[in-house]
Each structure stands twice: as C-alpha cells, then as structure tokens.
Structure 1
Amino acid sequence: MKNRSNLVFLIIAPVITLILLGCHKLLPVRSVAIIADSKGEAHLYADNHSGGNSEAIWLDEKTHAWQCRLRTGTDFPFCGMSTLPTGSHIQGLDLSKMDKIRLHIGYSGPAKKIRFYIRNYDPEITGSDELDAGKFMFVQLNTSDLADEITLNLSEFSVADWWIDRYDVPRSRARPNFNNVVNIGIDFASPFPYGDHIIAVRKIHFLGEWITAEHWYLSIIALWITAFIIFASVRWYQFYGHALKNSRRIAELASYNEQLQTKKEEYKYLSKIDALTGALNRFGFTQAVENVLDKRQPGEPVSLILFSIDHFKRVKDNMGLNETDAFLQKVASLIADNSRTNHVISRWEGEEFILLCPDTVGSSGYILADQIRKSMVAAAFSHRGASSITISAGVAEIDPNESFASAFKKIDDALFKARSLGGNCIIMG
C-alpha cells in the first residue's frame, strides 16, 4: 500500500509542479497608471520660449492630443510633452519593482522615430535640484509600431550620453534606475524630423510582477523542500516510532528468551536430579561419568561404588511411604557427608545409590565404601521388627579405556555377591 502511495505521489508531484509553474502567469500584475485615457496631467514645451521657432499646442488636452511644429532656427530645436507623476521634480515615484511599460500612442507625421524618456532624480549624482537634473533615460520608438498598443521592457532604456557628460557621472552610477521617477515624456531626437507632428498619448502604464518569476520558482523549490522536510520528518518519526516499538519488542523478547534460558537451565538441571533425594538421577549421573572419563588423564584412577540398602523391600513394607522417603533422603545425605567434594552421588534406582570417585584407586574406593557402611550402622537406622538397617556395596576401579557399562557390570556383580553373603559388607569387583 505504501509503495502504491509513493508511486502516485511520484506521478502527481511533477503535474503539480507544472501547474504551479504555469500559475505564475495568472498572478495579478502590479500596475501604476501615469496616463490612462483622459486621466493624468501633462504639459507641453517647445523652443519658441527660448528664441526658437518650434511650438507645441494642445489639440485636445483631455485626451492628451497635441501638435508639435518642429522648425529650424536653432541648433537644437525641440518640442514635446511631459508629466510629473507626483507634481514634484525632486520627490517622485519608486518604480524599481516594475519591469515593463505599456504604451498606447497615436502618431501622424513625417518622423520615423519618436523618443520616450524617463527622468530619475538622485541628488547624490547631480548635486542639483534643477528641473532637468534627473537622470535622462530613453528609448527610441518606431512610429510604424505605434498603430497598436506596445509593451516596452525597462531594460531597453539607455542613459543619454550628454547627461552623463554634463554631470560627469561615473560609469558605476550611469546605469538606468527607476527608484525616484520624477518626469516622463515624449519628444524628438536628432536627426530632427522637421515638420508638423500630431501625437495622442492615450496610455502610459508601468507594470510589474508582485512576485517575479525567479522568486516564484524559488518559492516552488522552497515549497517542495519544505514538503520534503515535513515528509522526511513524518517518515523519520514513524520510523523512530516503529524502531522504538521494535526495540521494546526486542527487549521484551530478549527478556522472555532470558527467562526461557533460565527455565531451560532449570529444567535441564531438574532433568538430572532425583526429586526425592536431591542427588543426580541415572541420566545426570551417566552424563557426569562420561564427562569425567572424557577428561581423564593417562594414569588417573577413577573408581565406582554401587550401594544398596539391605532387605529394602521388608524395610519399605514396615516403614510406609512417607517414612521410607525420609529414610532414603537420610541415606543419600549420609553417603554425601562421607564423600569428597569431587565425588558424584546418584540415586541409581529405588534403594540403590552409586558414587563416582575421581582420583581414587580401587582400594581407596573400598575403604570409602566400608567407612560409609560403618556410618550406616552407627546411625542406627531402624524399622519395625529389626534393630538397625545396613547397607552393602560393590566397588571397582575403572580400567583405562574401559567403558562405564563394563565397569558398572563389575560393581553390579560385586553388589549381588555382597547381598548373597547376607549384606552389610563390601565386595571388590
């Protein structure tokens, strides 16, 4: 299910990205109208006010339709129209966020080009507050293009060389800028197109994006990075949660496994122990013998002693079950108390106990068995109808490379002989 969700996401993500990229064109546009239809104030100027012969006259001031009569009579004849967006030639409009101008200018006359200009005032450059001190930036418009509305990029504007020379502006500050636009206008540049020109300025709109394409694309990238971080964080949190849960589960399983191991060892131990006497049972003793014989060094003596309580059937019949169990426990304790710490005692079956004696030769095993027999007599265990209970034993030393089964047969035969002699004796096998 998760793989399917990831596949769907991989398919949808590029589609969403393409949609977001396309949505930039649908965003609202920032707009500043300098002249729109009949709105906006403007004034005309010409060289006839300074001794020239050119003049500019309004044909319809409301629609910004005017006539320029450009005549000879001065070295630099001029006539044009300009507007102060804020009414001040010092404090203008900040149009630095704009990147385009939409113009709708009607033209009739002999000129092939007209000049559209913008002045941006910066007192740190000119050090003057004269009306024409603003940086003069312009673009030449082909009159053949003016039949329809046109759009200019502000990057198309150039700073006039004469203005740079006039104020000795350094190259680093001679680039166009639009952070304090104080004057916008239309006139003619050299070579001067003498004659009559009719111009109607219907629209001057500055346009800019609220969010530039570059910032929009960066925002999309930032959005996906944020989404990825959130997704990665959620996945990490889920992974951490699963890991923590698994860690707890592993800890629980480890604890449970440890308990099982403890129980296993406990059951393993109990499987080797005679429940009544606490001595090894036959299974446990067999393993102990095999372990001793496997580790036996050349020349190392090992002896076996097989004990049996004399006339046990009669003893058991007279004692009863509970008393018999207690008696067997005492016999096991008596044998253990008379043995060395490295000796291994086992309840072989019923009334029989077997003792494994490492580092013990047969004669020493015989002495030990007889000592235990005497201790049994001294303990004066009794039952109804008899003064004391005795014990017999068969003793044998396990020969080198001899198996336990072979050695056991020797002590079993010896014990049988001891019983045949009436009990309370030790026989070497």
Structure 2
Amino acid sequence: MTPPLVKLKVPGTTKEASRVRYELSNPKLLIAGIALTLAAVASVEFLPARTLELTAPGLANGPYLNTSDGNQANAAVKWVNVKDKHLRCHYATAAANYLGCGLTYVLNGADPSLGRDLSGFDTMELDLAYKGPSAFVRVALRNFDPRFSKAEDNNSSRFHSINLRPRDIQRPVELELSELTVPEWWVGQYNLAREYNRPGFENVTALSIDLPVVQAGEEHELQLRRVTLKGHWVKRDKVYLGILCAWMFGALLMVLNGWAQLRRSHLRQQREIDALTARTRQLRVEQEKLRRLATIDELTGVLNRRGLEQSLEDFEDSARGMTLVTLDIDHFKHINDRHGHDCGDEVLRRVAAVVAANLRASDVFGRWGGEEFLIAGQGTRLREATRLAQKLCDRIEESEITVSGHRIAVTASFGVALAPPGGSTADALKRADEALYRAKEAGRNRVEMDKTLEGTPTTI
C-alpha cells in the first residue's frame, strides 16, 4: 500500500490567492464595461441622425437668383414660382462672360465673416429638379477662412463643389460632404499655399445650386425642393477613440491594482512561509521519500509513471481490454534550449492541463516520463480512441501558452494502439510507441494508429 502524501498548507495562502484572482478578473466590472461599450456603439450607429434643413424658413437668407450681372431683376433669370424655389433662365445673347443661372442661400448674418459650422455633418440630401440642355447641375458651398478670406470679396471664401448629371437628380440624392472638392480654377485664381486649399466646412457662408456653363439661346428650368444635412451627434471616430482609451485606461488600472494586491499577498505569504520554515525542516527527508513513492507527478499534477502502472494493472484485471494513446511534445528540447527549463516546465503543465480538460471521466492520464504522456481507456474502440487523440492534437495546437510575455507555439504527436482482452499491455505500449514514432517521422503534430488489430470486431 502506498503511503499517503504529506502536504504542507500555508495558512491563508489559497484563500488569499483566490481573492486576488477574483479581483483581477471581477466579472461584474467586465460586464459593466461591455455594457457601456455596447451603449456607446449603439448611440453612434442606431440613434436618429442629427439633421439640419438649410432650406427651412428663417434658417438662411434667400434664396437669391444667380445672374450675369448680379441684378435680381434681370429678365434673363426670373422666378417661375418663388415660393416653390422654381426659376427659369434664358439669355437671348451672351452679354457677359458669365451667364449665371441658379440660386444661392446666404448662411451668414450681419457679419459676412461668420457663417455656420457644418463640419459635424457627413452627408447632404438634395431634392431638386432640372429641365434643360446642361450636362451638369453644380452644388457648391463657400467657407469663409479668416486666414485668407476677405469680407469685401465674396469669391475669396473657399469654394467647394460637385457637378451632378441630370440623371443623378431624377430622384432625391444623398451626397457625402467629402465629395465636394475645391476646383482647380479657384486654386489657380487665388494661388494660396497648399494647406489653404484643403476642404473645410467649419464656417460655411453660402450654399449655391446652379449651372456651371450656360450658353446664349438655351432655356433652363431649375427647382430646389429641399436641402438637408445629416450627421452624427458625436463623431464616430471620437466615440471609438474614447472607447479604446477607456478600455486601455481600465486595463492599466486593473494591472496596477492587481500588481499592488499581488505584492501585498506575496509579502504576507512570505512571512507565513518564513514562520513555517523551522517546522518543516525535520519533515523534509520523510516528505521526499513519500513524494518519490506517491502516484502524482509533482510538476504537472497528473499521475506519474507509478500511478499509471497501477491503473494499467487494474485495467488488465478487468479483462475488458484497453486502448492506449501515447503523446510526445514536439521539439521539446528546442523549447528548453531556447526559453529555459522553467519555460519547459510551464509547457508541460499547460499541455497536461489541456489534455486533462478534454478527457472522459473514465480515462486514465499521466506523465510517462520526460515530455511523454500516456492515456489509457477501458474498452477496445480503437477508432474512437484515434478520434480522441486527434481532438487533443488540435486542442494543444490551438492552446495559448505564454511564458514571461513570450507566445510559444506547442504541438504534439500521438500514437494509438489496442490491448485486446487477455493481450499484453507491454506489447500494446510498444506498438503505441511505434505509431508515435511514425507520427514524428511523418512531420509531427499528427496522429498515427497502430493497424495490427484494425478491422477486428472489437476495434469498431
């Protein structure tokens, strides 16, 4: 009979470690953070858009007709119905270089340098109708920039425009404000530094809907029904940046708090351990003897070779046969050489934990020696044991093993063999090892099955 294993328990250590682990991964805080994140994302993606209808009464001055000479009484450009913002243009002769045809809303008040900040909007919804031979209808915004714009020169406000084809506006169209660009003619006319030619809508003073080119003798009709700006109440990029910063700040607080608690716990445990050192000295020799006789592997916490041999003897006595699966960690020597033996020990512990978590309650699992492990199961279903080995092979490959901040890729090779009722366990172990060797020869990270008894009724 194997003598019982003597364990030394440091008072308060297990309880303290559990408390620290709980505080480091408090599910309530995590759930609250996720809920707040979802609420912030929902506020951006699903709340009604912020809207501004520029053609609404009282919001802007106008509309004013665009004519060749600025004369609102110009007979060539006149209202068909001013209430419906419906105008007609017909120049009998080209009396000027510029034949204006369109309308303008003025967004500034008494101070011509103060317009409306439209930078918080993303899109513009246009509902307008056009009849005539023009190839394009132009939509334009002017933005007053105090760095170069002058109140006495309306054209000095930066011009942004987009030309729409008549077929584009047969129904209401939604434009991204980013589609409005600064045209080359304006850039060339004012010859400003490059940074002044970048689009900007933080101080818009006018909105124009007109025809970029009008020829004498042509007749055009234009009707503007509605111009609506749409955008988010809070910029999407700012919300997501805020979410990211909040999570990073929360993670930092958790790390600092966890470090402080672990340090306090460590100091407390160290004092307790020091107090017990004198009491444990006389037990060490006896404890080492008991540990060598014990059936548990000290490093991994699973059965050691002695424990496995006892379990195999029990399976043999039951006369039901057994399946044996041997597994060996691939390139384990390379892991030890590159990362050190402490890292190798951690890999052994993690692999043992992954395997143990995916076994059946009736399976026996232990460390056979070095980086080799053995799984034994009662019964003679060889293919079922092979599927289990493949599952374990995949789980080990997918496992996250990080030691001292280094991510270590770990795989294992497997050999599967059958010990039929009354058969030799030693012979089955040999055949499982041969299958394991074939798996390594075939490239590792795979499962090989001993086919000596394959096809018999007991292997199905």
- After TM superposition, the score normalised by the length of structure 1 is 0.50
Number of the residue aligned with 1:62: 83
CA shift digits 1:51-110 (9 cap, x unpaired): 998622223333323223354423332221001112353221222333322222233333
For these two proteins, the number of residue pairs brought into alignment is: 259
Number of the residue aligned with 2:54: 34
Q: 1:117 aligns with which of 137, 140, 143?
A: 140
Number of the residue aligned with 1:99: 122
Return 148-157 or 51-60, whichever deviates more. Answer: 51-60
Question: C-alpha distance in 2, partners of 1:253/1:116?
Answer: 84
Question: C-alpha distance in 1, partners of 2:253/2:91?
Answer: 68
Question: C-alpha distance in 2, partners of 1:114/1:46?
Answer: 16
Q: Which amino acid aligns with 1:247?
A: Q
Q: Which amino acid aligns with 2:119?
A: S
Q: 1:197 aligns with which of 216, 220, 235?
A: 220
Question: C-alpha distance in 1, partners of 2:172/2:188?
Answer: 34
Confirm or deny: 8 A CA contact 1:107 1:198 kept in the other structure: yes
**Distance apart, 1:140 and its partner CA:** 0.5
Question: C-alpha distance in 2, partners of 1:6/1:123?
Answer: 53
2:98 is equivalent to residue 76 of structure 1: yes
CA shift digits 1:251-286 (9 cap, x unpaired): 44357779x99xxxxxxxxxxxxxxxxxxxxxxxxx
Question: C-alpha distance in 2, partners of 1:53/1:73?
Answer: 13
Q: 2:199 aligns with which of 158, 176, 183?
A: 176
Number of the residue aligned with 1:85: 107
Pick closer, same or farther for the CA change 1:257–1:193 going to 2, 3 Å. farther
2:267 is equivalent to residue 244 of structure 1: yes
Confirm or deny: 8 A CA contact 2:78 2:88 kept in the other structure: yes
Q: What's the secondary structure of 1:158's corresponding residue? A: coil
Confirm or deny: 8 A CA contact 1:70 1:79 kept in the other structure: no
2:132 is equivalent to residue 132 of structure 1: no
Consecutive unaligned residues of structure 2, counting only runs of 5 or more, are 1-17, 284-460
Question: C-alpha distance in 1, partners of 2:240/2:59?
Answer: 37
Question: C-alpha distance in 1, partners of 2:250/2:67?
Answer: 62
2:177 is equivalent to residue 154 of structure 1: yes
Q: Which amino acid aligns with 2:174?
A: T
Consecutive unaligned residues of structure 1, counting only runs of 5 or more, are 262-429
2:67 is equivalent to residue 46 of structure 1: yes
Confirm or deny: 8 A CA contact 2:88 2:221 kept in the other structure: yes
Question: C-alpha distance in 2, partners of 1:54/1:103?
Answer: 27
Question: C-alpha distance in 2, partners of 1:189/1:70?
Answer: 15
Question: C-alpha distance in 1, partners of 2:216/2:194?
Answer: 31
Number of the residue aligned with 1:217: 240
Q: Which amino acid aligns with 1:197?
A: H
Pick closer, same or farther for the CA change 1:6–1:50 going to 2, 3 Å. closer
Number of the residue aligned with 1:25: 45
CA shift digits 1:295-329 (9 cap, x unpaired): xxxxxxxxxxxxxxxxxxxxxxxxxxxxxxxxxxx
Identity of aligned residues (%): 25
Confirm or deny: 8 A CA contact 2:143 2:158 kept in the other structure: yes
Pick closer, same or farther for the CA change 1:12–1:166 going to 2, 3 Å. same
Pick closer, same or farther for the CA change 1:186–1:132 going to 2, 3 Å. same
Q: Which amino acid aligns with 1:26?
A: F
CA shift digits 1:28-66 (9 cap, x unpaired): 544333213896542113126579986222233333232
- After TM superposition, the score normalised by the length of structure 2 is 0.47
Confirm or deny: 8 A CA contact 2:160 2:182 kept in the other structure: yes
CA shift digits 1:108-129 (9 cap, x unpaired): 3333311111112235325562
Number of the residue aligned with 1:336: none
**Distance apart, 1:155 and its partner CA:** 2.0
Q: What's the secondary structure of 1:47's corresponding residue? A: coil
CA shift digits 1:230-251 (9 cap, x unpaired): 3324433442343233133224
Question: C-alpha distance in 1, partners of 2:75/2:163?
Answer: 21
Q: What's the secondary structure of 1:231's corresponding residue? A: helix
Pick closer, same or farther for the CA change 1:148–1:248 going to 2, 3 Å. farther
Q: Considering only aligned residues, what root-mean-square deviation do their CA atoms show, in Å?
A: 4.1
Confirm or deny: 8 A CA contact 1:122 1:180 kept in the other structure: yes
Paired residues for 1:316-327 under 5 Å: none
**Distance apart, 1:12 and its partner CA:** 7.7
Question: C-alpha distance in 2, partners of 1:71/1:183?
Answer: 29
Number of the residue aligned with 1:387: none
